[in-house]
Structure 1
């Protein structure tokens, strides 16, 4: 049994350890900012615990050839869909206007975080089965079906942030797989129509609509719907070039920024570490995403390449959306900053994704022995 948990030394030599090292640095840096934002040790310790669990999950994933994981992609996908159905219609827990959580004792998991990984695996498997021929109508509509099932269930919650993440995962995968650009632009147009229908359907409440559109007029209702954005801009702006220093931020210390340890953790970075700290963090993310892309390009098959593309799309869009909403250029949604924001579901799903990419990396050569 224990032999199955061992990784061959020759395979270990193929791992891009820079991905793991950078990921750990980002999580530890995030934990420090969470500690500052919460003025307590509780969430700091929990975040480091999630880090250890995440690394354990990475190790377990690396012991399993990703081609074996491929055989279970359908099961993983439908398990994620089942969790979403359970969440939406049976035991979901409402938090901040969205039914996005399933309570487990004193904790809760966010099914959509894991369902998006199932989506990536399913699309990767199907495209591999199709040998990349996604422009054939039957193949294309098959992929669209598998993409829509979890996305519709996430819209029902409603969690527009995660819906956007899933959409850009699909968009990134379709683009890299060579889908006709006319179809992609048609899909974007359809998205606009879909958003308009959902917007006027009553699924999204008025206060949620105000939250999503508040970034367009940040000067209005600064103490109401724009409170979070206003305080975030004040915090980031007051950090200047070098920042106010660790645990010396007034916006953070006085809890003026709501959700500073989760969705708005970048505001803490901007206030306490300044422009320099923010640029260092962005550089770390940039190197991480670059390594993902490099691994995708050297993958030995479609399945491995699409996994890497899906994970890259997840990190890239989440990064742009989260930081964008803290500085007022993107709508405010509940998207976490990967590896930085507090949260077990977010950290574990991120490390699962990283584990899958590293799995592709260590087995990218057709002959390893």
Structure 2
């Protein structure tokens, strides 16, 4: 049984250690910052979020290893099962006694030991399903029958997420799909038509009741010339103060473990999730922010290089889907903390607090490492 999960040392030589080191560095940097911005008396435990994130990190490392031990092509057979399980989980959040509502959004499943957020699994499931479908149809995406089939498969999970009023994850899934269909060769006129449809859809959704009032207020606040720093604009205004106080090299006092959290940790709501970049900018300054972007740059460039070397379309599109997710997520998250983009509930990949997100993204990265390790067949020496 144990032999089944041993990694061939010849494959280990092909492991992209630069990508792996950048990934682990990002996650550890995130855990450090989660501690620094929540080290105050959080539910009488200053290590509450840090301990939980560390536990998920070790679970994710074990999962990564397991996903490296078998050829990624094996998962190709089980993609439909993964997809429909995800759909079942998205439906399960509405079942009384199973689904849990947090801050008005019914998007979690209570497993007693921890809360599972199915929408985080959905982005992974969509990447896999879209990759399989596109390989099956040899990327003949401009065929009307094939296009409608793809549209149906992606619309179902996105519709279920939209019903949960999770606009952030809906946007994430849309840009993942956009990146993948563009690489697959979708006609640019269709892509443009898709954008126009999205604009029309937003107008309809605005008056449909599927968007929370606070989500509308965030957009209206962003468009308003007079920012309300005490109401809907409070989170952004406090975040900008935190970023400004970091300067070039950061606030060394906030890095002291014996001192309470800095300005961001005590004034910015949801600091450990959506707005963790404000804490990073305060604690490490512009240098820390550039270091973070440097690590993300390594990840995205490496992933796209692996996509070019992949032995099949399935592997290539998994890489493109993951790169699209990371690129959009960091642009949206950092952009909203700087006041350049309306605020949405999109976390910073590998950095923000969240077990479901960390587990699914690390498994996705394991598949990408797996794809590179198996770009060529192993040869046996005499």
Confirm or deny: 8 A CA contact 1:244 1:273 kept in the other structure: yes
TM-score with structure 1 length normalisation? 0.96
Q: Which moved more, 1:162-171 or 1:45-54?
A: 45-54
The match for 1:109 is 116
Using the TM superposition, name which of 30-39 and 162-171 deviates more.
30-39
The equivalent residue for 2:18 is: 18
Map 1:339-350 onto structure 2 (within 5 A).
339-350=350-361
Q: Distance in 2 between matches of 1:94 and 1:332?
A: 21
User: Is the 8 Å Cα contact of residues 37 and 262 (structure 2) preserved in structure 1?
Assistant: no
CA apart distance, 1:366:
4.6
Q: Is the 8 A contact 1:103 1:109 kept in 2?
A: yes
Mapped contact 2:247–2:285 kept (Cα < 8 A): yes
Query: Per the alignment, in what secondary structure is the counterpart of residue 100 of structure 1?
Result: strand
Distance 1:262 1:198, change over 3 A: same
Q: 1:215 touches 1:229 (CA, 8 Å); kept in 2? A: no
Moved over 6 A (4+): none
Q: Which runs of 5+ in 2 are unaligned?
A: 40-45
Contact 2:162 2:170 in 1 (8 A): yes
The aligned residue for residue 79 of structure 1 is 85
| Counterparts of 1:212 and 1:161, CA distance in 2 | 13
Residue matched to 2:33: 33
**Counterpart in 1 of 2:189?**
182
Contact conserved, 1:88 with 1:153, CA < 8 A, in 2?
A: no
Tell me which residue corresponds to 1:98: 105
Cα–Cα, structure 1 residues 339 and 218, in superposed 2: closer, same or farther, change >3 Å? farther
Find out whether 1:173 has 2:180 as its counterpart.
yes
Aligned to 1:252: 264
Instruction: Report the TM-score when normalising by structure 2.
Output: 0.93
Equivalents in 2 of 1:32, 1:148: separation in Å?
38
Counterpart pick for 2:49 among 22, 28, 43: 43
User: Residues 165 and 212 of structure 2 are in contact (CA less than 8 Å); yes or no, is this contact kept in structure 1?
Assistant: no
* Cα-Cα RMSD: 1.5
Question: Which residues of structure 1 form unaligned runs of 5+?
Answer: none
Partners in 2 of 1:66 and 1:151 — Cα distance?
A: 25
Q: CA deviation at 1:196?
A: 1.3
Q: In 1, are the aligned partners of 2:100 and 2:110 still within 8 Å (CA)?
A: yes
| Cα shift at 1:241 | 0.7
Q: Deviations over 1:332-351 (max 9, x none)?
A: 11111011001101110110
**Which moves more between the two structures, 99-108 or 321-330?**
99-108
Count of matched residue pairs: 368
Cα drift, residue 365 of structure 1: 1.6
Query: In 2, Cα distance between the equivalents of 1:278 and 1:19?
Result: 19
Residues of 1 paired with 2:226 and 2:247: CA distance? 21
Pairing of 1:100-139 with structure 2 (within 5 A): 100-105=107-112, 107-139=114-146
Q: Distance in 2 between matches of 1:331 and 1:133?
A: 36
Q: Distance in 1 between matches of 2:276 and 2:160?
A: 28
Task: Describe the SS at the equivalent of 1:99.
Answer: strand
Q: How does 1:1-369 map to 2 (within 5 A)?
A: 1-39=1-39, 40-90=46-96, 91-105=98-112, 107-217=114-224, 219-245=226-252, 246-247=255-256, 250-253=262-265, 255-366=266-377, 369=380
